[in-house]
């Protein structure tokens, strides 16, 4: 089965010029709303970090990072795969207090993306955000309230974009009510389905959901999905997903969660067989209690643009490199990739 497909009869509701204008407006609107709801301030962020700092995201632990040497330096740099750990260090360095946080543009290269399809690209652009919290905030209630604020920011942005571009109104409105479900409950509900099939079955009915508990093994012995052991607490994290009517599938917009405290990091490093990471600067600082307690995550910029503008392929809202099959499929359907 081909990875990329274009729904029959699909036509973009905006031409390329208006698409670019709408993307720019959408990003400004969402950033302002997200910052206001979560009390976040914009900061600058690195494109690459030192290889030996422990700051880069290991994702599922198998993806190769893009790295290069620096002239007249003994450092080897790695292009970031996410800013999950860097943000927590930045909150300490910049002197953020509990209740306040930061957001930034994150650009990454995922060279080992195993499938290039409508939703996946080797280029990743997202809003990375992180917020300092108090010990009493490390609970599911606080996590759920934060999720609802993010969904509110998304839906408010959609309302404004559709008012400015009426041709987008037939796409319909996203569901503001969030259905919360744990990945174990999802496995119990659909024991014979794969994790992705479970997501599709649940989101088709509930439209907007937050799947709680990503990374740890379920009763089946397998995790719902992979998550690095050294930033999210696997019991206090999850994914924000909506139903994409155009593509007929569950559509992940955000991976987020309350971050590990020293006890959670110790446990998750042990379960993952990654205890050697405790020697790295970031991990030492966290285990010594030198970093603030935080909540944070990433929200896909191209994903959100694609969804709110009714695009069938992520290449319609971002510039990347695609395989021949994707190029041919889109060309046959009259879809222009940037």
**Residue 328 · residue 158 · CB < 8 Å:** no
* 158 contacts 273 by C-beta, under 8 angstroms: no
Has 320 been annotated as catalytic? no
Please state the φ and ψ torsions of residue 6, each to the nearest 5 degrees: -115, 125
Does residue 275 come out as left (phi exceeding 0), alpha (psi in the -120 to 50 range) or beta?
alpha
Among the listed residues 82, 126, 272, 302, the single catalytic one is 126
For the stretch 98-126, what's the b/e string if a residue is b when 16 or more beta carbons lie within 10 angstroms of its beta carbon? eeebbbbbbebbbeeeeebbbbbbebbbb
255 is catalytic: yes
- 239 counts as catalytic: yes
Question: Is 188 considered catalytic here?
Answer: no
Asked whether the beta carbons of 148 and 177 are under 8 A apart, the reply is no
Of these residues, 130, 187, 230, 252, which one is catalytic?
Answer: 252
Strand partners, 210: 180, 240
Helices (H), the chain: 16-38, 84-94, 140-164, 183-189, 195-206, 262-272, 281-287, 301-308, 324-332
Pairing of strands 123-132, 101-109: antiparallel
Q: Do 207 and 174 contact (CB within 8 A), yes or no?
A: yes
Known catalytic residue: 57? yes
Residues 14, 305 contacting (CB under 8 angstroms): no
Report d(CA 19, CA 169) in Å as an integer.
Answer: 15
Residue 154 and residue 30 in contact, taking contact as beta carbons nearer than 8 Å: yes
Give every CB contact of residue 232 below 8 A, 6+ residues apart in sequence.
Answer: 84, 214, 215, 256, 257, 258, 259, 260
259 assigned to active site = no
281 CB-side CA count, 13 A: 12
- Please tell me which residue in 130, 239, 261, 316 is annotated as part of the active site: 239
- Point out the catalytic residue in the list 31, 57, 233, 316: 57
CA–CA dist 313, 330 (Å, integer): 9
List the catalytic residues: 57, 110, 126, 239, 252, 255
């Amino acid at each position: 089965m081909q990875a990329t497909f274009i729904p029959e009869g699909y036509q973009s509701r905006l031409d390329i010029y208006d698409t670019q204008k709408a993307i720019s407006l959408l990003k400004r609107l969402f950033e302002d709303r997200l910052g206001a709801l979560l009390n976040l301030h914009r900061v600058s962020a690195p494109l690459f970090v030192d290889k030996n700092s422990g700051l880069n995201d290991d994702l599922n632990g198998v993806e190769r990072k893009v790295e290069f040497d620096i002239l007249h330096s003994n450092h080897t740099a790695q292009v970031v795969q996410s800013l999950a750990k860097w943000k927590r260090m930045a909150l300490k360095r910049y002197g953020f207090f509990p209740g306040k946080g930061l957001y930034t543009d994150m650009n990454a290269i995922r060279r080992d993306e195993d499938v290039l399809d409508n939703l996946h690209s080797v280029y990743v652009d997202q809003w990375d955000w992180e917020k300092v919290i108090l010990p009493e905030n490390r609970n599911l209630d606080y996590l759920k309230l934060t999720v609802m604020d993010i969904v509110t920011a998304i839906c408010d942005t959609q309302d404004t974009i559709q008012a400015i571009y009426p041709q987008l109104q037939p796409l319909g409105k996203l569901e503001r009510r969030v259905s919360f479900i744990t990945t174990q409950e999802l496995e119990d509900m659909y024991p014979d389905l794969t994790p992705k099939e479970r997501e599709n079955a649940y989101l088709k009915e509930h439209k907007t959901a937050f799947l709680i508990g990503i990374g740890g093994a379920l009763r089946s012995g397998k995790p719902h999905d992979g998550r690095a052991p050294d930033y999210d607490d696997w019991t206090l994290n999850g994914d924000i997903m909506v139903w994409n009517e155009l593509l007929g599938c569950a559509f992940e917009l955000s991976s987020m969660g309350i971050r590990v405290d020293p006890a959670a990091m110790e446990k998750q490093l042990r379960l993952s067989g990654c205890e050697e990471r405790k020697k790295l600067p970031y991990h030492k600082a966290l285990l010594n209690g030198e970093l603030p307690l935080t909540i944070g995550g990433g929200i896909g910029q191209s994903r959100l643009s694609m969804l709110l503008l009714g695009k069938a392929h992520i290449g319609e809202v971002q510039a990347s490199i695609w395989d021949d099959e994707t190029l041919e499929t889109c060309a046959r359907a009259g879809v222009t990739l940037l």
